[in-house]
């Protein structure tokens, strides 16, 4: 008997505003949009940020296997969660049917979602109005605590702590449970309990991690977002299997997200940082949760082991020379483990020897440091190469 499998795809993972900065390319710059295909073929879309356009482009391709009806869950009405709607090409095809779900805003009143949908395409904000969309559209208002079933799947909504209101969603499928809780700030006892109920025992918790714990405690307090540390705490408390850090700040570079991910993995066993193109499967044989990273964004790595000598200056200002191994080579660099911790911004010399040949490769580089002066070097692991950092270590740049 075939095991039921659900597939969760990430099309937009950035918060607040899309980014096109090369420094955010690896994790992606599109705003929130996820797609969940349940085992019975039911298609859910979570939020309609700019990532929705990318989903629509892929969807419109031949043999895309599109479901006849799609259920779209909108957490709230801030721009970064709705701005992809006018650019979602399947909405312009008359054979498609969409069911939209969100809450009644106290600022808009009845038919809030329908109003938001139509108003952002009204003159002079968009060149054509909503009448250009030929797909069938149905709108359903939800409240915190409401639930409904689609096929074999159950959807439950709970209120989260965010300015002007926000819903979190729990989708229970035969293959596992996904909790989507973006745009939430911890600290309200009632809403914290609401999130705990939403996440209880979930296979995947997608949690807001826009700010660092330090930002959340000071200058970003009250902005309606969370941190990786709060996400790890909630994941442990709720008995979650896998935590996904989501809604990355537009000012957080890939290297900063790498640092956040490393810290989160020290607090919780199974953590991923959401990236565009990432696919998570639930119910796969032998492993309930499997994440597949987009090869175009991570660079192809090859397992390898080369003897190497690293020369540099320690934190205490002393010269050191250490024999080690270079492994996991890619176009972006190679992972090296050291017992010494090099001084910040010191130049290192790495000499690698290819086994069985006379080839010796020598690389010089500087230790990369965050803009705030903090460094990213866990347990002496470093990442050497000319381009990018990795989730495991630190970049050296020529």
Q: Which residues pair with 382 in a beta bridge?
A: 336
360 contacts: CB under 8 Å, gap ≥ 6: 351, 352, 353, 354
Predicted confidence at residue 392, as pLDDT, reads 35
If DSSP codes are grouped into helix, strand and coil, which group holds residue 89? Answer: helix
6-297 and 299-397, same CATH topology: no
Query: Top-level CATH class of 6-297?
Result: alpha beta
Q: What is the mean pLDDT of residues 295-313?
A: 70
DSSP alpha helix (H) spans, the chain: 51-59, 112-119, 189-199, 213-217, 228-238, 254-267, 295-298
Q: Which of 93-107, 132-146, 239-253, 297-311 has the lowest mean pLDDT?
A: 297-311
Predicted confidence at residue 315, as pLDDT, reads 78
Predicted confidence at residue 338, as pLDDT, reads 80
pLDDT range class, residue 377, cuts 50, 70, 90: very low
Task: Decide if pLDDT at 256 tops 50.
Answer: yes
pLDDT range class, residue 204, cuts 50, 70, 90: very high
Predicted confidence at residue 187, as pLDDT, reads 94
Structural domain boundaries in the chain: 6-297, 299-397
pLDDT range class, residue 361, cuts 50, 70, 90: low
Q: Which residues pair with 324 in a beta bridge?
A: 308
Rounded Cα distance between 224 and 249, Å, is 13
Supply the mean pLDDT for the chain: 84
Contact 173, 195 (CB under 8 A): no
DSSP string, 49-60: STHHHHHHHHHT
pLDDT range class, residue 336, cuts 50, 70, 90: confident
Task: Decide if pLDDT at 394 tops 70.
Answer: no
What distance, in Å, lies between the first and last C-alpha atoms of the chain? 54
Q: Is the pTM of this model over 0.85?
A: no
Q: Which of 185, 195, 141 is nearest to 163 (CA)?
A: 185
Question: Any idea which fold 299-397 has?
Answer: Thrombin, subunit H (2.40.10)
Q: Please state, for a pLDDT cut of 70, what percent of the chain lies above it.
A: 79
Rounded Cα distance between 114 and 140, Å, is 9
Q: What is the pLDDT of residues 41-89, one digit of tens each?
A: 999 999 999 999 999 998 865 555 565 699 999 999 999 999 999 999 9
Considering 217-226, 340-349, 350-359, 363-372, the range whose residues carry the highest mean pLDDT is 217-226
- As given in the structure block, the two tokens for residue 56 are 């629509």
Residue 77, class by beta-carbon neighbours within 10 Å (0-12 exposed, 13-18 middle, 19+ buried)? buried
Q: What is the pLDDT of residues 139-186, one digit of tens each?
A: 999 999 999 999 999 999 999 999 999 999 999 999 999 999 999 999
Considering 123-127, 168-172, 342-346, the range whose residues carry the highest mean pLDDT is 168-172
Q: What is the pLDDT of residues 226-244, one digit of tens each?
A: 999 999 999 999 999 999 9
Contact 91, 85 (CB under 8 A): yes
- Tally helices (H) and strands (E) across the chain: 7, 22
């Amino acid at each position: 008997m075939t095991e039921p499998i659900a597939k969760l795809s990430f099309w937009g993972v950035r918060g607040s505003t899309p980014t096109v900065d090369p420094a955010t390319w690896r994790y992606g710059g599109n705003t929130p949009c996820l797609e969940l295909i349940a085992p019975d073929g039911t298609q859910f879309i979570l939020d309609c940020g700019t990532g929705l356009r990318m989903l629509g482009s892929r969807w419109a391709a031949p043999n895309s296997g599109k479901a006849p009806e799609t259920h779209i869950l909108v957490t709230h009405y801030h721009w970064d969660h709705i701005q992809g709607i006018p650019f979602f090409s399947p909405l312009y095809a008359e054979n498609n049917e969409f069911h939209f779900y969100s809450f009644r805003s106290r600022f808009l009143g009845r038919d809030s979602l329908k109003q938001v949908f139509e108003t952002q395409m009204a003159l002079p904000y968009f060149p054509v109005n909503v009448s250009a969309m030929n797909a069938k559209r149905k709108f359903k208002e939800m409240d915190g605590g409401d639930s409904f079933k689609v096929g074999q799947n159950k959807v439950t909504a709970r209120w989260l702590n965010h300015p002007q209101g926000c819903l979190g969603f729990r989708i229970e499928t035969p293959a596992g449970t996904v909790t989507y809780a973006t745009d939430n700030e911890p600290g309200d006892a009632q809403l914290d309990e609401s999130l705990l109920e939403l996440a209880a025992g979930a296979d995947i918790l997608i949690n807001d991690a826009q700010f660092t714990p330090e930002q959340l405690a000071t200058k970003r307090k009250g902005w309606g977002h969370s941190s990786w540390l709060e996400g790890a705490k909630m994941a442990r408390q709720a008995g979650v299997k896998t935590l996904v850090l989501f809604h990355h700040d537009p000012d957080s570079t890939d290297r900063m997200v790498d640092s956040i991910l490393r810290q989160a993995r020290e607090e919780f066993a199974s953590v991923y940082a959401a990236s565009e193109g990432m696919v998570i499967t639930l119910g796969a044989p032998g492993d309930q949760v499997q994440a597949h990273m987009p090869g175009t964004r991570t660079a192809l790595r090859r397992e390898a082991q080369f003897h190497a000598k690293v020369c540099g200056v320690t934190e205490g200002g002393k010269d050191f020379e250490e024999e080690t191994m270079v492994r996991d080579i890619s176009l972006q660099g190679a992972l090296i483990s050291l017992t010494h911790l090099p001084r910040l911004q010191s130049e290192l010399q790495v000499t690698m020897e290819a086994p069985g040949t006379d080839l010796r490769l020598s690389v010089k580089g500087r230790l990369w440091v965050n803009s705030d002066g903090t460094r990213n070097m866990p347990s002496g692991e470093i990442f050497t190469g000319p381009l990018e950092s990795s989730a495991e270590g630190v970049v050296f740049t020529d």
